[in-house]
Structure 1
Amino acid sequence: MADQTAHEHATTATNNAPVSVEVDTSYENDSSYGDELSSYSASLTSSVLDYRHENGRRYHGFHDGSYLLPNDEKENDRLDMVHELCLQMLHRKLYLAPIKNPQRVIDLATGTGIWAIDFADLHPQAEVIGCDLSPTQPTLVPPNVKFVVDDIESEWAYERNPFDFIHARYLAFAVRDFGRLIKQCYRSVKPGGWVEFQDWDGQPFSEDGSLKGTGIERYFKEVNGAFESAGYEVRPGPKLEQWFKEAGFVNIHVEKFIIPYGIWPKDKHLKRLGVWAQAGAEAGYEAGALAVLTRYKEWTKEDVMLLASEARADGRKRGIHSMFNFYVVYGQRPEN
């Protein structure tokens, strides 16, 4: 069974002064922990599973409010669709970094855990960790996978046992400080190890002006603006290379992919991508807008549903040729 427990961060002393931690003497003077340990563990588990239910959707309970998309079954299905989109885009590859014989790997914000599970099947010699705010991953997984509940924007303690490979995918709309996060990755990967981020430029565009005045354009104007006002990065893809450089990575490689929305492209490969992109978008319009617009912009649920409906309807019109850019960026920590 996968390990779904909150990751505990180390506490460090300031100026090497000894840390004073007061002992709780309320327990009976036993030589070992008994029922109180089970009780305390149960309360921690309960807090992680104490989900927020709002506007008909379910949201994470651990660090409530730090991530604004749902974690319910409908959203998990959407995340798995985006996983398939990425596999189609990369011709069934899980990653592009030139890793060799990885022994210790982490998937940041693993979601349903599908990438971590696929990677573990592909590399049975590797220990694979998937971390996320929500313990919604399956329990029947390869023996070399475990899942932990953690907030990737909190302080890490992975530097003590660094990784050969760190992977992160579609963190747009989820992370406030990518620069800091990537520096944490640098400190937590072994010398010679690799880090790979795969992410969106969350602003759609069209080459023929067909996006102008559409429900899609309005949706992303409202939603992207709300996320940015709340402090989230919505267009990380084109900035990843600079963040990797600032963190100290070398041998940085950047690939940009076009993801069309819909079946309008003539090219068969792009048409397949467009089908998956449209399926993911239609499932995600409501999920992406509900929390951010109702919590931060005082929209009603009905207003959000109308916005999503208009975007969904325009997304099915062949005359609207919208696209997104998607970036895969990887870099290596220097050997020395």
Structure 2
Amino acid sequence: MSSLLTNTAATAPETEPTVEPTVEPTSTGPESTGILPPSHWAQVQHDDTDDGDSAFEDDNASSTASLSASILEYRVIHGRTYHSERGNAQSWNPNDALHDESMEILHHVSTLMQDGKLLLAPIRDDVQKVLDVATGVGMWAIDFADDYPGAEVIGVDISPQKPQWIPPNLRFEVEDVTLPWTYQPNSFDYIHLRWLTGCVEDWNGFYREIYKALKPGGYFEHKESTCLMVSDDGTVTENSALSQWGRVFTEAGRKLGRTFSVVEDGLQVKGMKEAGFEIVLEKDLKTPIGPWPEDENQKLIGQFSRLALDRDIEGYLNYIWTKVMGWSTEEIAVYAAHLRRELRSPNIHAYYAQKVVVARKPEKS
């Protein structure tokens, strides 16, 4: 549930992207991928008796705010805006205000899961130059620049960022970070990356660019999410909407050639080591979806992670499930209704995994 871009954009006439991914004939039978066909969800009968905790959304919706900037004209796909054609970029998340709200909540979830910390890397208080890759709505970069006023901070993304206010030591740039980098070698003390699954063709090559841009002794931190929503007690069943989410995204990543299985396949550690990094820290995290945990902090995390997803389920699905997997918008709407019912059920104890890897460029490199 992560992205290369998230930003408010102006509405443009509905257009199709000029470059489409190669879509193979879709095989959605359970015998091949475990994916149920889109028509399945229109036939499923549901029981509303366990739709619990719906009052939470009304109580917490007011805690989110969308950015009010309106910049440029982007592609419009089924009514949602996406980044303009640039380089080799193929981000699957919208960059409109509705999706921004979801990503802002996920930023809050991320800090809650790290005990209020923006980062886990052991950087110096006098860090000089920092790069936030795939900065999205820019909230991490803004918070970091605020906490480290002596640092020069750059947030880079495929979509321009125009928040109402930014610290004077922060600037945003527009680049396709999946292409060879134009940053000077050995120029950054710390590089931060979060949630780029499904957007990168060559992770090893991507990590090599990051390695080259870091100063010797500099730190790189990458937090990534899996698309698989599971449970430890069997309450997320194989044919549930929650389980199907991950199956469809995994297959879509295979078709696109941009994997959604970064965490499951251990690509972070493998790719960083191949690039020459020394691994400093590996931290595996479980992100609950819904307020089912007994622990109060985990319960709060679950409430906000569910709110982030529920805020814009259709936005997460729109590009990948229509353009790559061949679903119609009507089929997505029916599926999303089933997913929302499961998200509200107090009897389903779902979560998804995240992994943080902190690495260091050797002093002698």
Interval containing the TM-score (normalised by the shorter chain): 0.7 to 0.9
Q: Is 2:231 the counterpart of 1:220?
A: no
Q: Which residue of 2 aligns with 1:49?
A: 72
Higher share of residues assigned helix: 1
Structure 1: gaps of 5 or more residues: 1-47
CA distance in 2, matches of 1:76, 1:141: 17
1:80 pairs with 80, 96, 104, which one?
104
Q: Is the 8 A contact 2:185 2:214 kept in 1?
A: no
Matched, 1:116 2:144: no
Aligned residue number for residue 203 of structure 1 = 228
Give distance in 2, aligned partners of 1:224 and 1:279: 23
SS of 2:225's partner is strand
Aligned 8 A contact 1:244 1:252 in 2: no
**How big is the shift at 1:148?**
0.5
C-alpha distance after superposition, 1:18-55 (max 9, x if no partner)? xxxxxxxxxxxxxxxxxxxxxxxxxxxxxx93301121
2:110 and 2:295 mapped to 1: Cα distance?
Answer: 17
**Counterpart of 1:330?**
358
What is the rounded CA distance, in whole Å, between the counterparts of 1:257 and 1:251 in structure 2?
Answer: 17
Aligned to 1:318: 346
> Which fold has the larger relative contact order, with Cα–Cα distance below 8 Å and residues 6 or more apart in sequence?
2
* Mapping of residues 117-136 of structure 1, within 5 Å: 117-136=142-161
Larger radius of gyration: 1
What residue number does 1:261 align with?
289
In the alignment, the residues of structure 1 paired with residue 261 and residue 162 of structure 2 have an alpha-carbon distance, to the nearest angstrom, of: 27
**In the superposition, relative to structure 1, how do residues 178 and 284 fare at CA in structure 2: closer, same or farther (>3 Å)?**
farther
**Which residue number corresponds to residue 8 of structure 1?**
none
Cα distance between partner residues in 1 of 2:322 and 2:291: 32
1:99-154 per-residue CA deviation (whole Å, 9 max, x = no partner) reads 11211100001011111110001111110000111113315211100001111101
Q: Give the C-alpha shift of residue 161 in structure 1.
A: 5.8
> 1:311 offset after TM fit, Å?
1.2
* Counterpart residue type for residue 94 of structure 1: L
Superposition CA RMSD, Å = 1.6
Count of aligned residue pairs for this structure pair: 289
CA distance, structure 1, for counterparts of residue 343 and residue 250 of structure 2: 17
Moved more, 178-187 or 70-79: 178-187
User: Partner of 1:13 in structure 2?
Assistant: none
Structure 2, unpaired ranges of 5+: 1-70
The ranges of structure 1 where at least 4 consecutive aligned residues each deviate by more than 4 angstroms after the TM superposition are none
- Could you tell me how far 1:169 is from its partner in structure 2? 0.6
The percent identity for this pair of structures is 33
Number of the residue aligned with 1:158: 183
Residues 73-124 of structure 1, C-alpha deviation per residue, up to 9 Å, x if partnerless? Answer: 0011111111000010001100000011211100001011111110001111
